[in-house]
Amino acid sequence: MKREYCPCLSIRRAILRNVHTSLLVLFSIVLAAAPATAQVVNLNPVTIGDRAFGLGGAFTALASDATAGWYNPAGLGFLDRTYINATGNVYSYEHSRAENFIVIEPTTGTGGSANLDEKQIQATPSTFSLAKSLGNRGTVGFGVYVPRDINVEDSFAVGANYASQLLGPTHQDFYERDSFSERNIYLGPSYGVRLNESISVGTSAFILYSTTDLDSLMNLTLTATGATGSESRISKEKVTFWGTRFLLGTKAEFGGLHLGLSAFTPTIRISEKTDSSLINSGIISGGSQSVSIGSRNTTNTGRGWELAAGLGWEEKNSWATELDVTYYIPEFRHDIAARNVANVKVGGEYSLTDEYRLRAGFFTDFSPWRGTLESDDRSYDIDIYGFTLQLENHDYFPNSKIMRSFSVGVRYAFGNGNVLGTFSNPTTNGFSTPRRDLSYESIAIMLGGTLSY
């Protein structure tokens, strides 16, 4: 979801009126150099459901439980039991780092640099879904899916000692704290039916609700050539979005061979709204304050076509494997991506005993922004690779036909790319945004369970 972030013009005008030009230069550069909260925003392949998680999300062809409503609803047509699936909401840790993200290098005096060191906590995708077979009339299902639930909080501070190294023999204190949260929820019914013994079709209809909150606090104090200035800024922004998406799918089974095709349609917007507030205050030659509160409609979220093709093979109660190829086509405007992107997912499972299965998967998440680097969220350009590993235990309740399964898995992802940094020279007032090398890694734990009867 796109977020706008820029220094406030009213602050700059206040400084122009009340302080020495050198203070203006320092203040403007520090504002420009301060990193806003921003996370790696790729297509974020979703690994919803316990079995699909273990397979790295490669489930278009093997979809065979209640989560088929998310991956390929045609898989529901092959179910002959009632399934209830739940995936636990377990937190993950992400870390991004770029050397020399900020460089301030005056032609005289001392210069310095600061690194980007960003840590994030977010919840792994979670779901609750159920499916009930109607016999020859097909299978109906319903699901609540949370593919993205992220909370980020980071801060950036420059004290007097370090600031003097960056900007020369002056006294400066700068502090900024940003918090960012985003949650997407999909919910809706699914239906799948067999056309014959080998082929089925299906569809899912989702209502999408998305909410994003951004809170930012900034305090700045500068002293230069006898002039002193301080500024503070508190900003809040909340974006709410309602929309709909449809998923269409077909699946074929020929013995152990499984084939699957699915297509997520672009987001259809129902309503979008942004509420924002901004308070600027300064103690500069008498002080000044400005307050801005507003609400507006916005069109800055949504996803385009997501196409998937899967090829799998399954030997019942022994082993299975699948390869998926996905292709993303952005909407013509206001999309989270800027270019077509192809990704792969591959996974396999093996029955260690009658009660334990081991699964492993691999997936890619290539950058959707290459060649279109901008500021803030879109400054990241990084290709991500990930692995999953999972162990499942399954058996039957005593004296019943109800099967239960519990699984625990780990997801590890890493990548290298670049991010737009800042290079400033207070002496010449030069400013540029060069690319910096960026490293990324994340690790997540998943807990899941399924009942079928």
Residues in contact with 141: Cβ distance below 8 Å, sequence separation at least 6, in sequence order: 66, 68, 69, 73, 76, 129, 130, 131, 132, 189, 190, 191, 192, 204
Is the pLDDT at 453 greater than 90? The verdict is: no
Q: Where are the alpha helices (DSSP H) in 168-264?
A: none
- Nearest Cα to Cα of residue 337 among 94, 95, 2: 2
Q: Please give the domain boundaries of the chain with CATH numbers for all domains.
A: 9-452 (2.40.160.60)
Cα 313 from Cα 320, distance rounded (Å): 6
Phi/psi at 364 (nearest 5 deg)?
-120, 155
**Model confidence pLDDT, tens digit, residues 6-63:** 333 333 333 333 333 444 445 555 554 444 444 566 777 777 788 898 999 999 999 9
Most confident of 49-58, 104-113, 421-430: 49-58
Cα 214 from Cα 224, distance rounded (Å): 32
Map tokens 């005593």 to a residue.
398
Is pTM beyond 0.85? Reply is: no
Residues in contact with 37: Cβ distance below 8 Å, sequence separation at least 6, in sequence order: 152, 153, 154, 178, 179, 180, 214, 216
**Model confidence pLDDT, tens digit, residues 268-283:** 888 888 888 888 776 5
Render the burial of 381-406: b for 16+ CB within 10 Å, e for the rest. Answer: bbebebebbbebebeeeeeeeeebbe
What's the mean pLDDT when you consider all of the chain? 78
Is the pLDDT at 408 greater than 60? The verdict is: yes
The residue count for the chain:
453
